[in-house]
Structure 1
Amino acid sequence: MPKRLLARIAHPVEQALERVFLRRTPDSVVIDPYLGYATPETILLRGRVLTSLRRTTPAPEASWLVNLRQMIGLFFTREVAERRVTARGVDARTDEEGYFTLALPRDGAAPGWHAEPVEVEGGDGATLEALVVDPAAPFFVISDIDDTVLETGAYSLARNLWTSLTGNAMTRHVFPDAVTLMKAFAAAGAPVFFVSSSPWNLHHFLRRILDRHDVPKAPIFLRDLGISKTQFISGTHGDHKGAAIDALLGAHPDLPAVLVGDTGQHDPKVYLAAAERHSGRIARVILREPGRGADRRDLARIRQLEAMGVRVDHGPDYSAVDATI
């Protein structure tokens, strides 16, 4: 059944359930803060308005059942639509899933992390942060998370679900070679952006894992799994990742990009398509080969990237990879 038809069926059902179980207008709302980024003209502050924040309380000794219950709890959020958020006199309204983006004038903001207080109608405000990239940076990095930095087994649906739902922020495994590589990029002056098909509900959870392992702070692009009038869940993994790459290349028009990923979730296909859309902008592709490694289709796409003049490094880990282009 086409996704658009599923959306037309599921959206009114979702709204009806919300009217039955979530009829009362919330007395107070909160902002779930996401890390934003900047374009040459604007600073983009991102977040979501909810009735309350959902957080886990991780413990190394917690059982898989406790972890499972806490992870599932992250998805039981009540989003608040059509709520006004304000920063520096700029207003925006949340969409039907509670998301908002505030586009503030850049006004000569210095490179680095820019913090801005944001107010929300009828609730508690928050300070949102956005990364302003130094125009003198040699390049910037767009990195996947699953099986690139964080071990998930995304190449196997069953393994991915088990790992994702039964671990916690204290027990999830981050690849040490990925941490070393990301730190090397930061040391070289190259900012990093993360893109994952995980849902936005996991933004804080993922940040806790990355912070715990001292991965350089970076904006994260995640995926909306909500149901709208025209869309059931969201686009495919490739659609989501491709759109994020397009947005970041547009935001940094004068910098070449390095794409880091793995062969477990079609990254070679996504990265080849990005290189074809943005001729000359992709300087390098770095790929981990988890599980059984790259198949013949991935190897063919790697050869196509190399034929386009893109430097490609691929192998079981990043131990021999440097932070240059």
Structure 2
Amino acid sequence: MRLTQGPIVRVYRGFGSQTHQVVQGHVFARGPMPRRSYSPNVWTNTLALLRLFMVKPMPGVTVRLAGTDQVTTTDADGFFRFDYPVERAPEYGWNPVAVELVADQTPHAAVLATGRGRVLIPHPTQYGFISDIDDTFLISHSATIWKRLQVLLTENAQSRDPFEGVVNHYQFLANVCSGEERPNPFFYVSSSEWNLYDYILTFSEEHQLPEGVYLLGQLKQLSQLWKTGQGKHFTKLDRIARILTAFPDQQFVLLGDDTQADPTIYRDVVKHYPGQIRAVYLRQVHTPHHGRTQAIVDEIQAAGVPCCYFKHSSDALSHSKDELTK
């Protein structure tokens, strides 16, 4: 089954500023090995996807941020988060970080396993971008759970398709009013579960989407696979709020779609963070939601925030060139 027996410390991409950082991850007693190759074979893809949901979390264990006295305990899902002030300002860009699984909370506790990751310290650019994933840039059929499952189980991260023109749009956004040497920060916030972290990362790298930080939904077990992508939407709002709070002096652009709760969430974000949202983009994917989404778009625009409700990425790109370069 290509499952490793732990302990395994997974450290996801973190983020921070010159004064504060956030690092998070999971500790597993069992987890999937990295995929070695990609095949069009349906059964190979199905088995590879199922392995991502065969994880065995380690709850209640102690982890330590390497080189510091920061310790915390994993929750019931084996998840941990360090949210801490930094003593010395880090360099802008990506900084290495390591998290250790330790035997106890004493200073000289034995290290049982180590995981490594990176933390993004954004350059002080004009814009930051917060984007949904499913049906915003990755064609996922989220409005129909069985269609979503079919695509997940029969294809792989390299055979999946982005929407036409979306990569050009995102690459433009990464450099607008900044440049390649100081790219704008991207945060990918989704209801997709942490099980799909490597899957989504592989897709993003394959299609050259802007490098960024991923904040996903609660881990699921194999028996919960049929609920994939059906995370609680208030937790997505909480993750977005965490980003906006971490960078209070930065303006953000929100990108989503109309298949689930993005319009409602983004309207609430505009309401609770006035002056911090520069623009909102919503992709038209699910025709039955068009009417109610348009009503929310009207509310966002009435609040003074430009909102582009678009069907084709070329239209969104044109809007960005006009609106974000003023």
State how 1:129-278 maps to structure 2 within 5 Å: 129-134=118-123, 136-188=124-176, 189=178, 190-225=184-219, 236-278=231-273
AA at the equivalent of 1:201: N
> Which residue is 2:76 aligned to?
96
Among candidates 96, 99, 114, match of residue 118 of structure 1: 99
Shift of 1:282: 1.4
AA at the equivalent of 1:161: L
* In structure 2, distance between residues paired with 1:33 and 1:215: 21
Shift of 1:236: 4.9
Is 1:311 aligned with 2:299? no
Shift of 1:33: 2.0
* In structure 2, distance between residues paired with 1:276 and 1:235: 24
CA contact (8 A) 1:293 1:316 kept: no
2:187 aligned counterpart, secondary structure = strand
CA contact (8 A) 1:256 1:281 kept: yes
**Range with bigger deviation, 54-63 or 276-285:** 54-63
Q: Alpha carbon RMSD of aligned pairs, Å?
A: 2.5
* In structure 2, distance between residues paired with 1:291 and 1:27: 42
1:29 aligned counterpart, secondary structure = strand
Is 1:69 aligned with 2:50? no
* In structure 2, distance between residues paired with 1:301 and 1:40: 36
* In structure 2, distance between residues paired with 1:46 and 1:293: 37
TM-score w.r.t. the length of structure 1 is: 0.83
Number of equivalenced pairs? 295
Shift of 1:233: 10
Q: Cα gap change, 1:293/1:218 in structure 2, threshold over 3 Å: closer, same or farther? A: farther
CA contact (8 A) 2:193 2:229 kept: no
> Which residue is 1:54 aligned to?
32
> Which residue is 1:7 aligned to?
none
CA contact (8 A) 1:114 1:131 kept: yes
Among candidates 282, 286, 300, match of residue 281 of structure 2: 286
* In structure 2, distance between residues paired with 1:239 and 1:178: 27
Shift of 1:192: 0.8
Identity of aligned residues (%): 25
* In structure 2, distance between residues paired with 1:309 and 1:150: 29
Unaligned runs of at least 5 residues, structure 1: 1-25
Shift of 1:275: 0.9
CA contact (8 A) 1:59 1:168 kept: no
Unaligned runs of at least 5 residues, structure 2: 103-110, 179-183, 222-226
* In structure 1, distance between residues paired with 2:84 and 2:67: 8
* In structure 2, distance between residues paired with 1:58 and 1:161: 23
* In structure 2, distance between residues paired with 1:195 and 1:242: 9
* In structure 2, distance between residues paired with 1:317 and 1:58: 35
AA at the equivalent of 2:67: R
Q: Deviations over 1:46-88 (max 9, x none)?
A: 1111123314637554322221222111111111122222222
* In structure 2, distance between residues paired with 1:293 and 1:114: 44
CA contact (8 A) 1:287 1:313 kept: yes
* In structure 2, distance between residues paired with 1:268 and 1:177: 22
Q: Deviations over 1:84-107 (max 9, x none)?
A: 222222212211211111234332
AA at the equivalent of 2:215: F
AA at the equivalent of 1:66: T
CA contact (8 A) 1:224 1:233 kept: no
Q: Cα gap change, 1:118/1:56 in structure 2, threshold over 3 Å: closer, same or farther? A: closer
CA contact (8 A) 1:185 1:191 kept: no
TM-score w.r.t. the length of structure 2 is: 0.83
* In structure 1, distance between residues paired with 2:191 and 2:34: 20
**Range with bigger deviation, 112-121 or 136-145:** 112-121
